[in-house]
Amino acid sequence: MPLGEKQGWEKSDSRYCGVETEFDDDMPGVLTSNLSPGFFDFVVAPLMNPTYRPSLVEKDASGSSPVLPFASSDLVLDLSQWSSHVVGKISSWIDLDAEDETLRVDSETTLKQEIAWASHLSLQACLLPSPKVTSCANYARCVNQILQGLPNMQLWLRIPLVKTDEDAMDENSRKIVDSWEVWNSFRLLCEHHSQLSIALDIMGSLPSVSSLGRWFGEPVRAAMITTNCFLTNARGYPCLSKSHQNLVTAFLNHSIQVVISGKPLHSVPGSGLASNGSNVNNQSVPSSFSHLSHPLKSYLDYIGFLFQKMDPLSEQELLKLGFRDCLRSPLQPLMDNLKAYTYENFEKDSMKYIQILLYHRVEHSMGSLRVLHVCQCCKVLMVVGAGRGPLVRASLQAAEETGRKIKVYAVEKNPNAVVTLHSLVKLEGWEDIVTIISCDMRHWNAPEEADILWTHRTTTGFQKLRSTLELWYTSFIQPVTASKLYSDVKSNKDIMHFESAYTVKLHNIARLAPPQPLFTFNHPDYSAKKSNERYKKLRFKMPSDAGSALVHGFAGYFDAKLYKDVHLGTEPSTATPNMFSWFAIFLPLRTPVCIQPGSDLEANFWRCCGSSKVNYVVPCFSF
C-alpha cells in the first residue's frame, strides 16, 4: 500500500516503501506476509540459498553440475508479480576482489548466475552487495561487463552512508574512507552506465549536511533504513531524530524509495511484540505471520507519517513535474516560429506577467493610502515579441484600472501568432488602441519613441526603439553534480550534445558552491565598441566539510532589472517565486571533474559571437 495519496505524487517512486527480507524458499509466502493490504509495496529478497558455493557443487559423471539451488521456480509467481514486487538481493558473501582465488572465482560465477536469473524473472532491479574494500577494480570490471548486455534492469550498488572520520576506516590502509569515494571509483570504472545506481545504507549517525547534499545529484534509487536508526518516543513507538527526519523527507522529495531492514527493536503498545522481535510468549515471529500484524508495521507507519507531513506541491510545481531533469534545447524565438503549445505554457505563468507590470507608487491626495498605477507620462507602449497577446492584455488591463490612456504597438514576427493577435484585437474591440506590426523587431523602424517597452527577449536588437531605456541583466553560474543529466547527454554518444546548452527544471542535482555572477549586459549601450563577446575566469571554493564530489557541468541563471526596483530572475537566492516558464541552463562538461573538499575549482567562460549564433566555451580544472 503506498505511503499516501498526494496530488502530483501518483507516479513518484517515493510513494512506495519496501522491506528487506531473509532467504525463503516460499516466495509466494514472502509476498503474502509482507505485501498484504496496509503493509509494504515490495520486498528486497535473496534469489539464491546463501549456503550455495559453485566450488562446492559436485559434478556428475558427465562433468555437468546439477540444478542450481535457486529460491524457487519462476512459475510460483506471475511475471507481473516478479516485476512489480520483488527486487533481487545478490548474495552478500560475494567478494570479487578477495585475495583467495576460490572465493574470487565463486563470487564472479555467482554474481553472473544471480543477475542472469533476475533478468529471466523480468525484475526491475537487483541490489548488489557493498564493495568489501576501497579498491574494487575487479568487482567493477565484472559489473561493467554484465551491464553491457543487461536489458532494462537497474543494478543498485549498496553503499553505506558513513561519516568521514574514524568510523570509516579501510582495514588495509587504515586511512579515512569516504563512502562517496568508493561509489565514484566504482562508477568511473563502469563508465557512468545509466543502469548503475545507488542504494544508500542509512546509519545511526549522519555526515554533515554539506556532505549529505552531494548524494542528491547522484543516481540514488533507494534509502535502506535499519531499525537501529530509530529512537523511541514517549508512547513507545519508533521515531527518527530531527536530522534523520530531514534526510528521509529530502529522499522522498527526490523520488527515492525507502526500504526498511533489520529486526523490530520496539515494543509497540498493543502489538504483542517485544523489543527483540518475539511475541509476549517468547515465541519467534514466523516468516508467514498473521495478516493482522507485521513486526515492522510501526516503522512503515512512521515513514508514512513523514510522507503525509510533507507540504503538498503548489499548482506551479505540479505544472513543472513533467519538466524535472528533462533536457530541452533552448527556444530560439528570433530564429524559429513557436508553436501554440509553447505559447500556452508561457501564458500559464501568471507570476511573470504580474512581476513585469511597471508601476509607480504615489501618495493619494486624500490621505496616506497608496495606489499603484502606470507611470503618468506613459503614452506609447510597445510590446516587442507580443506572441498571442498576454502582455498586450495585461497592459490594457492596467491602463483601465488606473484610468490611463495608452497607445500600444504589438510587434510579432511569427505570422501564425499574428493571426491570433488580430482575432484578439477584434474580439476585445481594441482596433483604435492596438496597432499590430507583423515584422521582426530587429528590422522595424518605429514611427515614434516608446515610453514603456515590454519584451520576453534580449534588448540588443531594439535598442533604437527608445533612447531612455535603462535595463541590465546578469548571468550567474554554479558548478553542480547532475548524474542523470550527464547520463542523458552521454546517451547520445556524440560530441555535439556535449557542446550544447540545455534548459532544465533542475531537481536531482547537488549544488556544490554558491552561484557567482558571470556576464552583465546594460541597455542602452552607446559605447564605441559594441561587441557582445565576453570572457571571464571564476574560481569556486569547495566547502571543507562536504567531501569530494564530481562536477558534471554548470547551472546557469539570470537576474534582470526591468524598471527601478522591479526584478525578474532565476538565480536561486533572488528567484522570482512561482515562475516556471524560465528554467535554468545546464552546460555539461565532456569530462566530469573530481574536486576535493576545500579545494578550488577554476572555470573559464567565453561568450563568442558569430554572424548567426552565439557559442559558450567552458573549460575548467580543480586544484
381-396 pLDDT, tens digit each: 888 888 888 888 888 8
Asked if residue 18 is part of any domain, the answer here is yes
Asked if residue 61 is part of any domain, the answer here is no
Claim to verify: residue 616 and residue 495 sit in the same structural domain? yes
Amino acid, res. 150:
L
pLDDT at position 622, please? Answer: 64
pLDDT digits (tens, 9 = 90+) for 154-213: 999 999 998 655 444 444 544 557 899 999 999 999 999 999 999 999 988 999 898 999
Beta strands in 22-173 (DSSP E): 42-46, 86-89, 125-128, 154-161
Report d(CA 277, CA 297) in Å as an integer. Answer: 12
**Helical (H) or strand (E) element with 316:** helix 315-320
Contact 216, 254 (CB under 8 A): yes
Q: What are the φ/ψ torsions at residue 85 (nearest 5 degrees)?
A: -125, 0
Asked if residue 478 is part of any domain, the answer here is yes
pLDDT digits (tens, 9 = 90+) for 395-435: 888 788 777 788 899 999 889 989 999 999 999 999 989 99
Mean pLDDT of the chain: 82
pLDDT digits (tens, 9 = 90+) for 234-256: 888 899 999 999 999 999 999 99
Domain endpoint, select from 431, 456, 481: 456
Under the banding of pLDDT at 50, 70 and 90, the label for residue 527 is low
pLDDT at position 58, please? Answer: 66
pLDDT at position 466, please? Answer: 54
pLDDT at residue 377 greater than cutoff 70: no
Domain endpoint, select from 298, 313, 328: 313
Asked if residue 60 is part of any domain, the answer here is no
Report d(CA 14, CA 154) in Å as an integer. Answer: 17
Residue matched to cell numbers 506577467: 353
Contact 472, 567 (CB under 8 A): no
Q: pTM for the full model?
A: 0.82
pLDDT at position 327, please? Answer: 92
Q: Is 81 helix (H, G, I), strand (E, B) or coil?
A: helix
Claim to verify: residue 308 and residue 358 sit in the same structural domain? no
Report d(CA 447, CA 461) in Å as an integer. Answer: 16
pLDDT at position 402, please? Answer: 74
pLDDT at position 173, please? Answer: 46
Is 352 labelled as part of a ligand binding site? Answer: yes
pLDDT digits (tens, 9 = 90+) for 43-66: 999 988 888 888 887 665 555 655
pLDDT at position 359, please? Answer: 43
pLDDT at position 592, please? Answer: 94
Claim to verify: residue 348 and residue 241 sit in the same structural domain? no
What share of the chain has pLDDT > 70, as a percent? 78
Alpha carbons within 13 A on the beta-carbon side of 139: 25
In terms of Cα–Cα distance, which of 210, 234, 261, 273 is closest to 545? 210
Q: What is the CATH number of the domain that holds 377?
A: 3.40.50.150
pLDDT at position 463, please? Answer: 57
In the sheet with 434-438, reading across from the earlier edge strand, the strands are: 434-438, 407-412, 380-384, 452-455
Cα→Cα distances 275→29, 59, 235, 237, 238, Å: 24, 46, 14, 11, 11
Claim to verify: residue 166 and residue 194 sit in the same structural domain? yes
Asked if residue 331 is part of any domain, the answer here is no
pLDDT at position 1, please? Answer: 64
Report how many domains make up the chain.
Answer: 3
**Helical (H) or strand (E) element with 303:** helix 297-309
Contact 123, 83 (CB under 8 A): yes
Asked if residue 84 is part of any domain, the answer here is yes
Claim to verify: residue 158 and residue 226 sit in the same structural domain? yes
Provide CB contacts within 8 A for 419, sequence distance 6+: none
Claim to verify: residue 255 and residue 132 sit in the same structural domain? yes
pLDDT digits (tens, 9 = 90+) for 75-84: 888 999 999 9
Task: Look up residue 111 and give its three cell numbers.
Answer: 554474481
Is 401 labelled as part of a ligand binding site? Answer: no
Kindly state the DSSP code that residue 284 receives in the 8-state scheme.
B
Q: What is the CATH number of the domain that holds 592?
A: 2.70.160.11
Alpha carbons within 13 A on the beta-carbon side of 190: 25
Claim to verify: residue 403 and residue 506 sit in the same structural domain? no
pLDDT digits (tens, 9 = 90+) for 571-608: 999 888 877 778 899 999 999 999 999 999 999 998 88
Provide CB contacts within 8 A for 479, sequence distance 6+: 512, 513, 540, 551, 553, 554, 595, 601, 603, 620
Q: What is the CATH number of the domain that holds 99?
A: 3.20.20.150
pLDDT at position 365, please? Answer: 32
Q: Is 84 helix (H, G, I), strand (E, B) or coil?
A: helix
Asked if residue 198 is part of any domain, the answer here is yes
pLDDT digits (tens, 9 = 90+) for 275-307: 444 333 333 333 333 334 889 999 999 999 999
CA dihedral 355, 356, 358, 361 (to 10 degrees): 10
Asked if residue 334 is part of any domain, the answer here is no
Is 343 labelled as part of a ligand binding site? Answer: yes
Strand partners, 621: 602
Claim to verify: residue 155 and residue 190 sit in the same structural domain? yes
**Helical (H) or strand (E) element with 437:** strand 434-438
Provide CB contacts within 8 A for 360, sequence distance 6+: 372, 373, 374, 375, 376
Report d(CA 491, CA 484) in Å as an integer. Answer: 10
pLDDT at residue 487 greater than cutoff 70: yes
DSSP 353-417: HHHT---EEEE-TTSS-EEEE--TT--EEEEES-TTSHHHHHHHHHHHHHT---EEEEEE--HHH
Report d(CA 234, CA 151) in Å as an integer. Answer: 49
In terms of Cα–Cα distance, which of 305, 299, 286, 304 is closest to 237? 299
pLDDT at residue 537 greater than cutoff 80: yes
Claim to verify: residue 391 and residue 354 sit in the same structural domain? yes
Q: How far is CA 599 from the centre of its chain?
A: 25
pLDDT digits (tens, 9 = 90+) for 3-43: 877 766 766 788 889 999 999 888 999 999 999 888 999 99
pLDDT at position 375, please? Answer: 43
Report d(CA 13, CA 199) in Å as an integer. Answer: 14
In terms of Cα–Cα distance, which of 185, 68, 70 is closest to 135? 185
Q: What are the φ/ψ torsions at residue 340 (nearest 5 degrees)?
A: -60, -40
Q: Pick from 85-94, 353-362, 436-445 the range whose average pLDDT is largest.
A: 85-94
The dihedral built from the CA positions of residue 269, 270, 271 and 272, taken in this order, carries a sign that is positive
Report d(CA 69, CA 78) in Å as an integer. Answer: 20
Under the banding of pLDDT at 50, 70 and 90, the label for residue 619 is low
Residue matched to cell numbers 506551479: 316
Alpha carbons within 13 A on the beta-carbon side of 417: 27
pLDDT at position 381, please? Answer: 86
In terms of Cα–Cα distance, which of 127, 139, 354, 148 is closest to 223? 127
pLDDT digits (tens, 9 = 90+) for 88-97: 999 999 999 9
Per residue, the 3-state secondary structure of 548-573, as one string, reads CEEEEEEEEEEEEEEECCEEEECCCC
Under the banding of pLDDT at 50, 70 and 90, the label for residue 445 is confident
In terms of Cα–Cα distance, which of 355, 362, 386 is closest to 562? 355
Report d(CA 59, CA 386) in Å as an integer. Answer: 79
Domain endpoint, select from 269, 298, 313: 313
pLDDT digits (tens, 9 = 90+) for 262-273: 999 887 665 544
pLDDT at residue 484 greater than cutoff 60: yes
Report d(CA 507, CA 509) in Å as an integer. Answer: 6
Structural domain harbouring 296: 13-55+68-313
For helices 242-253 and 297-309, what crossing angle results, to 10°?
A: 70
Is 353 labelled as part of a ligand binding site? Answer: yes
Claim to verify: residue 306 and residue 349 sit in the same structural domain? no
In terms of Cα–Cα distance, which of 401, 434, 433 is closest to 420? 434
pLDDT at position 353, please? Answer: 61
